[in-house]
Amino acid sequence: MHGNRTVSLIIPAYNEEATIADVVAEFRTLDAIDEILVVDNNCTDRTAELARDAGARVIQESQPGYGCALFAGMSNAKGDLFVLVEADGSFAARDLTKMLAYIDDAGMVMGTRTTKQMVEQGANMRFMLRWGNVFMAKYLQLLWMRPGEPRFTDVGCTYRTLTRETFERMKPNLTETGPAFSPEMMCAALLARARVIEIPVTYRRRAGGESKHSDSFARQARTAWSMFKAISRKWLWGKRVPIGQSSAPTPCAER
């Protein structure tokens, strides 16, 4: 627990049998975590079995996509606080302590992988990818400069912590199914008038396999374009949610 609030760790997974057990085991060492929830997003390998053996609760999400898996995880989590993390071992459990230190003053705490001194050798954050994330983050920041004046340097970092209340207020604006769900969450939090804080986190080399969204220039370009469109749509047509208002069912909730 963190204070008097329970903490759920949510891990979206698609064929991550090489890493999932180690990721679950690493985060289980943290006393703050009350539940580890792995979302099996149509895995065809032993990911679900190994996650259960390591101590995680596993749920199924049949609609494919990173956004679908994260939405399902948050919808099924039992905690008061949600922690999102990748299944590939690229994030360090120890950094959760920093996030929880800030969540008492925010609705969502975002990690950023663009602080060069925090990117370990071999991590999938080469020059173009790093500065592409910075550019897209600054575009989002510029659109929402008033009234929130956010400060962002990364739109693609999965590692983040948010309150259950923030998620409920974000729901009307969560519709992306793929990697654009990541910046969409940022937009949705700002539309819900939540305070969003960004902090640097350690970014390590993937323990197994290649990224599904950034392993080639073509995929990076497609992901960047989908993120740009998602950010622009939310700024133009996003639904502002008054503070304290519960969300109504949305297309995402029907996945």
pLDDT in tens, 207-238: 765 555 455 667 788 999 999 999 999 999 98
Written as six digits, the tokens of 96 are 């959760």
Strands (E), the chain: 7-13, 35-40, 57-60, 81-84, 108-112, 160-163, 196-200
How confident is residue 248, by pLDDT bands cut at 50, 70 and 90? very low
In the Cβ-directed half-sphere of 180, how many Cα atoms lie within 13 Å?
Answer: 20
pLDDT given for residue 212 in this prediction:
53
- For domain 7-239, which architecture applies? Alpha-Beta Complex (3.90)
Q: What is the pTM for the complete model shown?
A: 0.90
Are the CB atoms for 29 and 20 separated by under 8 Å?
no
**Cα separation, 245 vs 191, whole angstroms:** 12
pLDDT given for residue 229 in this prediction:
95
- Please state whether beta strands 160-163 and 108-112 pair in parallel, antiparallel, or not at all (unpaired): antiparallel
Give the chain's mean pLDDT. Answer: 90
> How many CB atoms neighbour CB 41 within 10 A?
25
Tell me the three state secondary structure of residue 61.
Answer: coil
The answer to whether residue 205 scores a pLDDT higher than 80 is: yes
- Before 242, cis peptide (omega within 30)? no
* pLDDT, tens only, 27-66: 999 999 999 999 999 999 999 999 999 999 999 999 999 9
pLDDT given for residue 69 in this prediction:
98
Among 235, 111, 88, 254, which residue's Cα sits nearest to residue 171? 254
Region of 238 please: left (phi>0), alpha (psi -120 to 50) or beta.
beta
Torsion angle in degrees (nearest 10) through CA of 197, 22, 65, 73: -60
> How many CB atoms neighbour CB 138 within 10 A?
14
pLDDT given for residue 243 in this prediction:
60
Q: Any residues with CB less than 8 A from the CB of 202 and at least 6 apart, and which?
A: 91, 92, 94, 95, 118, 120
* pLDDT, tens only, 90-131: 999 999 999 999 999 999 999 999 888 888 766 766 767 887
